[in-house]
């Protein structure tokens, strides 16, 4: 059997279990672009390390993340082929004790770059300018800053995720954080201004299921819409960077426990003690923190010198 034929069957068999429906298309697209031209027609039992390197070397330095995803996908496919008796021997696409000795480390050729973040002291001025703009992307960006979520959480939001009585937003795991592996949703306590933004969209007459609809009927806002608006206003920063602005503000201008702001950002809590602490979701503590963040964002820009949010008395767990 050829690699392409087996890979096609593998994707068809595995995709019903993938939580993100886009994964099937991503697998197919990357293999079609990079792998099939090199090994697609070759017998799957004939592939060795030289074939894998012929795929990876041309893109490893310039498209490192893409190259590593392709490597991982080929590794999974070849592992499955071995289980089905179509291959023997070691997997030539495996990184550990194999490709790591002939390819540079990903961190060396594609170091992690932090998203440029607006200094938190500048956020009130920015929010004041943002509030006077009248567009879906402006309200979506304001909502994103106030809730400290990722772009994907906002643009994919649908009305069924919101409990207006509880003032709570339930974000599915696949949109909350790419690193979430437990499959559990995350919860966002909604401040007053966030609820006002939602209310302003509830009276729409279109039939889009999305809170922040895009230009095409029944499609969400583009994932570039907020970034384009932000770059028109402040070209040096990213939407994701506001999460860092929020974290810096919470660390420097409040006495909220670190775990409270970490949970507000949906970060994975690794420490055993903190994991036990987080079981209560810390929802009320997070509500207070997000109300304080809303108040900070709404402060008149002229009052933003120095520490603008008074320290709270530290609450006991």
* Nearest in space to 54 (alpha carbons), one of 96, 10, 3, 109: 3
- Of 91 and 283, which is predicted with more confidence? 91
Q: What is the mean pLDDT of residues 148-153?
A: 93
Q: Cβ distance 264 to 167 under 8 Å?
A: no
CATH class for the domain made up of 3-109: mainly alpha
- CATH 1.10.443.10 range(s) for the chain read 120-303
Q: What is the pLDDT of residue 20?
A: 64
Q: Is the pLDDT of residue 313 over 90?
A: no
Average pLDDT of the residues in 138-143:
96
Q: What is the pLDDT of residues 10-53, one digit of tens each?
A: 999 998 887 666 778 889 999 999 999 999 999 999 999 999 99
Instruction: Report whether pLDDT(235) > 90.
Output: no
On the question of pLDDT at 279 being above 60, the answer is no
Q: Higher model confidence: residue 250 or residue 257?
A: 250
CATH 1.10.150.130 residue window(s) in the chain: 3-109
In this predicted structure, the answer to whether residue 287 has a pLDDT above a threshold of 90 is yes
Q: What kind of fold does domain 120-303 have according to CATH?
A: hpI Integrase; Chain A (1.10.443)
Mean pLDDT (the chain) is 86
Q: Encode pLDDT of 160-218 as tens digits.
A: 999 999 999 999 887 877 555 566 788 899 999 999 999 999 877 677 889 999 887 67
């Amino acid at each position: 059997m050829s690699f392409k034929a087996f890979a096609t069957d593998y994707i068809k068999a595995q995709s019903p279990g993938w939580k993100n429906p886009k994964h099937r298309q991503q697998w197919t697209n990357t293999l079609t672009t990079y792998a099939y031209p090199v090994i697609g027609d070759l017998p799957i039992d004939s592939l060795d390390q030289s074939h894998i390197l012929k795929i990876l070397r041309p893109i490893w330095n310039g498209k490192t993340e893409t190259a590593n995803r392709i490597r991982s996908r080929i590794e999974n496919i070849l592992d499955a082929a071995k289980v089905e008796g179509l291959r023997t021997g070691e997997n030539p696409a495996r990184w550990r004790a194999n490709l790591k000795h002939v390819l540079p480390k990903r961190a060396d050729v594609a170091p992690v770059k932090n998203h440029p973040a607006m200094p938190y002291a500048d956020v009130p001025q920015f929010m004041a300018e943002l509030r006077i703009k009248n567009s879906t992307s402006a309200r979506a960006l304001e909502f994103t800053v106030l809730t400290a979520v990722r772009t994907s959480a906002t643009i994919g939001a649908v009305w069924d995720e919101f409990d207006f009585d509880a003032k709570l937003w339930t974000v599915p795991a696949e949109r909350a954080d790419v690193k979430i592996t437990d499959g559990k949703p995350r919860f966002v306590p909604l401040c007053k201004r966030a609820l006002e933004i939602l209310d302003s969209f509830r009276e729409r007459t279109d039939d889009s299921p999305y809170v922040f609809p895009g230009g095409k009927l029944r499609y969400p806002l583009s994932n570039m819409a907020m970034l384009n608006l932000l770059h028109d206003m402040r070209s040096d920063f990213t939407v994701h960077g506001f999460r860092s602005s929020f974290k810096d503000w919470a660390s420097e201008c409040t006495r909220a426990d670190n775990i409270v702001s970490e949970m507000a950002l949906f970060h994975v809590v690794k420490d055993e003690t903190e994991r036990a602490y987080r079981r209560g979701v810390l929802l009320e503590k997070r509500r207070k923190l997000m109300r304080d963040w809303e108040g900070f964002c709404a402060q008149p820009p002229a009052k933003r010198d120095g520490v603008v949010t008074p320290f709270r008395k530290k609450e006991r767990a």
